[in-house]
Structure 1
Amino acid sequence: MDTKVAGVGVETVEYFQESGTVRTQFDHEKTPASMAVIATLADVMGTDPVELDPLHSTVDPDALDAFVRVRYGTNGDSHVTFTHEGHAITVHSYGVITITSEHEPTAEKYEKGAGI
């Protein structure tokens, strides 16, 4: 794992200021998709993961984890998109999460040098 978001190891995290999108790549063998989603969302929102609404209020975390495990390595991409905590979240079967706020991105998030 190259980096951590909210204490969870992920391969990469990219911030795209223009679109307000965050892209995280994770290794499904080391980090469940549900955990990577919550950690990335907490990082985006600048909060502790335990302060977020439980993911199960929006999507079944076990089904999300199984979706990535089953589809990983197959030809083509499958993905699931849902909204949680005011953010559109897409989880791709090849271990990539994209999160976009339904609001304008805030400048202070990108001022810490993470913006691309």
Structure 2
Amino acid sequence: MDTKVSGIGVEAVEYAQESGTVRTQFDQEKTPASMAVIATLADLLGTDPVELDPLYSTVDPDELDALVRVRNGTNGDSHVAFMHEGHAITVHSYGVITITPEHELTAEKHERGAGR
């Protein structure tokens, strides 16, 4: 693992300044998806993970971990999308988490609708 977010080792972290989106690649064999989500979100918000609302208030962490567990290439991608702490979070079975602030999603929808 090359870097850490909130004390959790991850393989890569990418930040998109214009949208506020963060994309994290994590090793599913070493880190449960639920831990990677909280660590990435805490890093994005600049806070300690224990200061966040518990993940179980939005999604069952055990179910999340089970749904996106390591898969071989023949199974394709499965993913889970949910809102937590005002952010849209998508966790893919190939070990990628994407987190986007809710206000960015609202602005994007508004811009698309304005062009009609």
Quickly name the TM-score band, shorter chain normalised: 0.7 to 0.9
Question: In structure 2, what is the equivalent of residue 43 of structure 1?
Answer: 43
RMSD value over aligned CA atoms? 1.1
Contact 2:68 2:80 survives alignment (8 Å): no
1:73 aligns with 2:72: yes
TM-score by length of 2: 0.84
Q: How many equivalent pairs are there? A: 103
**1:67 partner letter:** L
**1:15 partner letter:** Y
**SS across alignment from 1:103:** helix
Question: In structure 2, what is the equivalent of residue 100 of structure 1?
Answer: 100
Q: Which moved more, 1:16-25 or 1:80-89?
A: 16-25
Which blocks of at least 5 consecutive residues in structure 1 are unaligned? 105-116
**1:65 partner letter:** D
**1:77 partner letter:** D
TM-score by length of 1: 0.84
Identity rate, percent: 83
**2:6 partner letter:** A
1:17, distance to aligned residue in structure 2 (A): 1.2
Larger radius of gyration: 2
If asked which structure has higher relative contact order (CA below 8 Å, sep 6+), I would say 1
Which blocks of at least 5 consecutive residues in structure 2 are unaligned? 105-116
Matches within 5 A, 1:1-116: 1-69=1-69, 72-75=71-74, 76-103=76-103
**SS across alignment from 2:39:** helix
Alpha-carbon separation, structure 2, partners of 1:34 and 1:11: 16
Contact 2:52 2:85 survives alignment (8 Å): yes
Q: Deviations over 1:42-101 (max 9, x none)?
A: 0011100000000000000001111122x5224321111000000000000100000000
Superposed structure 1 runs of 4+ greater than 4 Å apart: none
Contact 1:72 1:95 survives alignment (8 Å): no
The answer to which structure has the higher helix fraction is 2
